[in-house]
Chains A and B, each alone.
Chain A
């Protein structure tokens, strides 16, 4: 390659500053997008790795039942960064409610253990000596055993063996009578705290013990945790270790979540998902950028067709022409790529920094792990290479076109003129509507379809991309917004579920009072609810309810002649709330709370989810008060209820079988039930009923809170009067306390402290506001990325449109000069150009809008998967923005280009391009 072509290229680029700038901007945009996607993806993966290290520890693998020599061999490997061990001290019966997990598995932490395995304390501290013990939180969550910090407990500890004395592996499930504890000894421990349960890799779900941690000597199985300097090399390391006989694969446990984040182990790993998303984005950007850069080059090349022709006619070879174009591409890439690299890194860096809390919420990461930009030189190089290839690919085809044309045709630029009259025929209507100028514009459009198509295509792409992303965001927001009003809980900030237990000394009312007293609590309420069968008299039900789709809701388990039974929610609420509901239903609460004649409220609308219908339960003309009955099948001592059937005489009978006989049947000792042995009862004999009098239908406020649920509402004060003293407990023992608060985090912490102080578990205290906030944060993240992406892609498309339109006009310089020379004035020009703009805009939109509606619908279908209630809507705002901007961009570009050529002296322009 020699210099004259380089000089030629450089001077041509300088000569046409605007085009060169647009091309460079195109390359900068693509490069910054590539960089942002690749570095963003990489940072995401790195973030997950750090989160997982913070959550579970840095260990990559664990060798179970490791011998002294194995430990030494592994620890001495060059590729191993750190090791740690724990040893089994023994098992102790702990008395949990989970019959498959009766033990505490006590592990003694060895040296380096806490460096490689992360123990996340929920309260208290780590054990500091062999007399202290740390308990896992699922001892309560899973085993209902709440042992507060500070408790001193005596344990009888032993080896877990089968009856012949063979030690059982940790992961073998509980075998009840077929296993035992041997070599037992007594030990006293002080509980110093609790920690989040270990991952299922370290405590398998089958493991019959809750893992507790202590220190000191232990003679049981020792497991070795190791961390590699480079987790990517995990598989090779294990292969070598296995070959050398140091590690036995069957004794190896993997830290899957961490290895997944490193792209090692497993096919469905997280980094592959992120990589997949990144790949999709890269492909999108690739197409966007190729179309922009390609257009730029093809314009440049066609502008220079004549120059290439001259070069060829004085003897330039094809190769030389091609490499001239390539040199130009390389030169522009060399300027654009470094700028894009910096812009991309700064852009994604700021974005990730601004969204760091959102990411933490989304992935529920430990507090000290934050998303941040992690630069990877290799990834940057990859981005640069992809961008360079994009540029070269874009330059290659125009270069090919440049060399194909014969020199004399290039010099003459006669390629475009091969048209037939038929091809540029325009309708008479056009001429009538837009005049002579409009007809000319329309002919121009038809003359060079290919060049126009690229403008229309880039307009189309921008419209579709913009609207799709907007739809995506609005549906997502709708989903979250919908959730917020959907049920009771999601509108409340904090919920505590109080369960009456012997171990709890504080009454529900006292707890409610204590929690309501927390600063920042705006309102609180307490309620209980259960589902039960409720029978409604046939004649009282509304006509709407007798529909085939709704009949599936009528229950066949409890069938009573003259009634329809439906699974119905029964709410017992605090009296203050109940009084409010009564007054909003226009009734006097005193009429309802008379213990001798208690009445309930009823939410008459009911949404039948499967039937997708909301209808009234009681008919319009049912006169209040009406009654319904809670119906249950009676337990008969010594019998099991088998189901109801219709007898030969057409009556409903309830069929019971003796317990022993049914047990035999279930064990397979009896193959078929003998009807002779059945006890048959009439509905009157078999069904217990509790009559509930409905005093009024609940008003808007109850509907607002509980939804169209067809529910019975009554106050705690009349629960015993309605259900009876014994039964009332079934309906009221679990009480949910709902709070709306100012600052949910502060209130949550304060409530937690109160519960801890009273020795009550905090597991059932839930910060829903936090969940909702997390959801909102996720929407923000998605919005930021979606809009960021859209804006950048739109910029690319915009540059593309600008480039194509302005060139189109400048290339037609001669034609304009001719029109000028025969007397077309600037008004006429404007008219012609306006009409061309309208053609561009209308063509772009007439493709873009239908396709956008289609993609919006597809997005709606996907979104509806998450929320059945969601209705299809079109984001009209985005459509308006899209339509408006299409015309603005097109007109603005036209004006810019026309301004440039208006200064032309017609005869110069005419002479300009002759041979």
Chain B
């Protein structure tokens, strides 16, 4: 089943001579439950693509469908709810709220929705993320790996259909990196979530079901990895 469909996506910055095309007619679709890695050199437009998929940046033209719905046809309010429920975003630099503790940061999307926190799910997440002992700590009391696990927890809390990760291991050592990838893969399998990861790390990319390579805002390669 197709969960994401991208049609002729363009994003330009500046105007006239200064015009820079970050995305130039990108089209592809993603199946539900797929683990997709996006690779490409710096400045190729891969982060822009991910942000547009996550509903935090706007395309200059083209369309993004998620579950058949045109994402950018929604108004601001609906878009916010979309971000809250449909996607989970993970950044390289974690982007946690420094004044909120681990539990609060993880449950943020639920709390913002005005819903009750599902304690069972929270416990399960804390357990999986190995943050049980750290639940009342503030972000600056955590190591980089722990902070990234918190941001993964936040992305997964609402059990979104799509998880988007922008270089989630870019700031971590190799042991922590592998842990994070395992976590993401587990979530991908366990909840049948669609996972899209931007990475420079070939070993991570090779663990994906499919790799899309982007250069100068265009898809230059799109291949499935066959596993034995």
Contact = CB atoms under 8 A, between A and B. Distances in A.
A367 interface: no
A561 interface: no
B97 A7 contact: no
B93 A914 contact: yes
Given A2-B114, A4-B104, A406-B58, A315 B109 contact: yes
Given A2-B114, A4-B111, A915-B92, A406 B56 contact: yes
A311 B83 CA distance: 10
A312 B104 contact: no
Nearest to B88: A314
A12 B54 contact: no
A250 interface: no
B95 A915 contact: yes
Contacts of B77: 317-319
A915 B58 CA distance: 18
Contacts of A318: 76-77, 80
Interface in B62-102: 76-77, 80-85, 89, 91-93, 95-100
Contacts of A4: 100, 104, 107-108, 111-112
Nearest to A4: B111
B85 A315 contact: yes
Contact of A311 (B57, B81, B93, B97): B97
Interface in A287-313: 306-307, 310-313
Contacts of A411: 56, 91, 95
B114 A313 contact: no
B76 A320 contact: no
Interface residues of B, number: 33
Contacts of B111: 2-4
B21 interface: no
Contact of A317 (B51, B58, B81, B91): B81
A314 B154 contact: yes
B113 interface: yes
| Max chain B Cβ within 10 angstroms of own Cβ: one of A4, A312, A915 | A4
Contact of A407 (B56, B100, B104, B107): B56
B104 A314 contact: no
A313 B95 contact: yes
A11 B138 CA distance: 11
A8 interface: yes
| Max chain B Cβ within 10 angstroms of own Cβ: one of A3, A315, A316, A319 | A315
A54 B14 CA distance: 77
Interface string B144-156: 0000000000100
A804 B12 CA distance: 35
B19 to A, nearest CB: 15
A423 to B, nearest CB: 14
Nearest to A5: B112
A408 interface: yes
Interface in A317-357: 317-320
Contacts of B95: 306, 310, 313, 411, 915
A408 B91 contact: no
A406 B51 CA distance: 11
A15 interface: yes
B57 A11 contact: no
B99 A8 contact: yes
Given A4-B108, A312-B83, A314-B112, A307 B56 contact: no
Contacts of B109: 314-315
| Max chain B Cβ within 10 angstroms of own Cβ: one of A7, A8, A311, A313 | A313
B112 A7 contact: no
Given A406-B58, A411-B95, A915-B93, A314 B108 contact: yes
B80 A317 contact: yes
Interface in B28-64: 51, 54, 56-58
Top 7 nearest A-B pairs by Cβ distance?
A315-B84, A11-B99, A4-B111, A317-B80, A407-B56, A315-B83, A408-B57
Given A4-B107, A310-B96, A313-B89, 4 more contacts: A3-B111, A315-B81, A407-B83, A915-B92
15 contacts: A7-B104, A8-B99, A306-B95, A310-B95, A311-B108, A313-B89, A314-B112, A314-B154, A315-B85, A316-B84, A316-B112, A319-B77, A914-B92, A915-B92, A915-B93
Interface of A: 2-5, 7-8, 11-12, 15, 306-307, 310-320, 406-408, 411, 914-915
